[in-house]
Amino acid sequence: MNEPVTTTPAPKRRGRPPKAKTEVKAAPTQPKPRYKMKAKPNWEDVEDIAFEDAPDRLRIAKELIPEGMDLQWVTDSVFGQAFPQRRAEFEKRGWTPVHQEDFDGQFDGMFMPKGTQGEIKVEGVVLMARPLELSRKAKILDRRKANEQVQIKEASLRGGELPGVTLDSQHPNAVNSNRINKSYERIPIPED
């Protein structure tokens, strides 16, 4: 007894049929021609072809910062237009432009071509330095000014100086409902 064999057809593949694999023959290597150039070709001294610029090209590692000094990038120009007022504000606070030969030349060639004269400038910002003690004092003053602003606003709210609302600051409802809540959250600061 022969039973009829039923076969289900294979599902059809959609899309184009795969291409046949072809062998790729390597081209014969020929000696590369030497090009005559005024400047010495940079490709002859390449050590790491996979080198990529760091995501933050202005970053200065902590170990490179001279001991007892603070460094900061200060806006010098935007789209080629100089901002002398902005820079003058920093210079009045003790910030001094860094030249490539400063600090025994440790920044020479790091941000600009090696041996370039003048201040270290990158894309509209200039590297400036000042003693670390001045920066610490400035941070304390900035914190003190910020706290004073908060205290002034708290005093005006407690005193009934609410915009658009006329309330007696000594009225029991005003005293009971005027509350100021403070909260502090830790913000992670990168250590490097």
In a domain, 24, yes or no: no
Strand 121-122 vs strand 69-75: parallel, antiparallel, or unpaired?
A: unpaired
Pair (105, 63) in one structural domain: yes
Pair (90, 143) in one structural domain: no
Which residue from 93, 171, 88, 92 is spatially nearest to 135, judged by alpha carbons? 93
- Of residues 170 and 62, the one with the higher pLDDT is 62
Q: Helices (DSSP H) in 15-168: which residue ranges?
A: 84-92, 132-158
In a domain, 10, yes or no: no
Report the range of poorest mean pLDDT among 90-99, 153-162, 167-176.
167-176
The mean per-residue pLDDT over the stretch 23-45 comes to 64
Pair (127, 145) in one structural domain: no
Pair (144, 121) in one structural domain: no
* b/e code 140-152 from CB counts within 10 Å (16+ = b): eeeeeeeeeeeee
Pair (60, 127) in one structural domain: yes
In a domain, 157, yes or no: yes
Pair (96, 140) in one structural domain: no
In a domain, 186, yes or no: no
Pair (82, 119) in one structural domain: yes
Per-residue model confidence as pLDDT tens digits over 84-138: 899 999 999 999 999 999 998 889 888 999 888 989 999 999 999 999 999 999 9
pTM more than 0.75: no
In a domain, 48, yes or no: no
Pair (92, 153) in one structural domain: no
pLDDT of residue 166: 46
pLDDT of residue 19: 72
Pair (122, 101) in one structural domain: yes
Domain tally for the chain?
Answer: 2
Pair (61, 128) in one structural domain: yes
* Domain around 171: 134-177
Q: Which residue type is seen at 154?
A: E
Examine the fold and report which residue of 132, 155, 186 is the final residue of a domain before the chain moves on: 132
Pair (165, 118) in one structural domain: no
Pair (75, 86) in one structural domain: yes
Examine the fold and report which residue of 116, 132, 148 is the final residue of a domain before the chain moves on: 132
The mean per-residue pLDDT over the stretch 12-29 comes to 67
Complete DSSP assignment for 157-189: HHTT--TT----TTSHHHHHH------------
